[in-house]
Amino acid sequence: MNTGFLVVKAGIHATLQDTGRFGFQHLGVTTGGALDAASALWANRLLDNAPECAVIEITAGGTELEVQTQTMIAVTGGDLNLTVNGRPQAPWRSFWVRQGDRLKFGYPRYGFRAYVAVQSGFNVPSVLGSVSTVKRERLGGLHGEGSPLADGDFLPCKHLAKEGLARQIPEQYLPDCQGDLVLDLIPGYQQQSFSKQAWSQVWNQSFELSTDSDSMGARLKGDAIEVPAGQLWSEGIAYGAVQVPGDGQPIILLTQRQTLGGYPKLGTILPLSGYALAQRQPGTKLRFRPMTLTSAQQQMRRFLRFFGL
pTM score of the predicted model: 0.95
According to DSSP, the residues that pair with 290 across neighbouring strands are: 185
Distance CA 119, CA 244 (A): 42
**Do residues 30 and 257 touch, judged by C-beta distance below 8 A?**
yes
For residue 74, what pLDDT is reported? 98
Tell me the pLDDT of the chain averaged across its residues.
95
Give whole-number Cα distances, 16 to 13, 135, 150, 160, 300, in Å: 10, 11, 11, 21, 24
Mean pLDDT value across residues 118-127: 95
pLDDT single digits (tens) 228-286: 988 888 999 999 999 999 999 999 999 999 999 999 999 999 999 999 999 999 999 99
Strands 285-290 and 181-187 come out as parallel
Mean pLDDT value across residues 102-129: 96
The answer to whether residue 1 scores a pLDDT higher than 70 is no
pLDDT single digits (tens) 72-89: 999 999 999 999 999 999
**Minimal CA–CA distance to 249: which of 266, 237, 231, 236?**
266
CA torsion angle for 134, 138, 143, 149 (degrees, to 10)?
50
For residue 170, what pLDDT is reported? 86
Domains of the chain with bracketed CATH: 4-160+167-173 (no CATH), 181-306 (2.40.100.10)
pLDDT single digits (tens) 189-244: 999 999 999 999 999 999 999 999 999 999 999 999 999 988 888 999 999 999 99
CB burial of residue 301 (10 Å; 0-12, 13-18, 19+): exposed
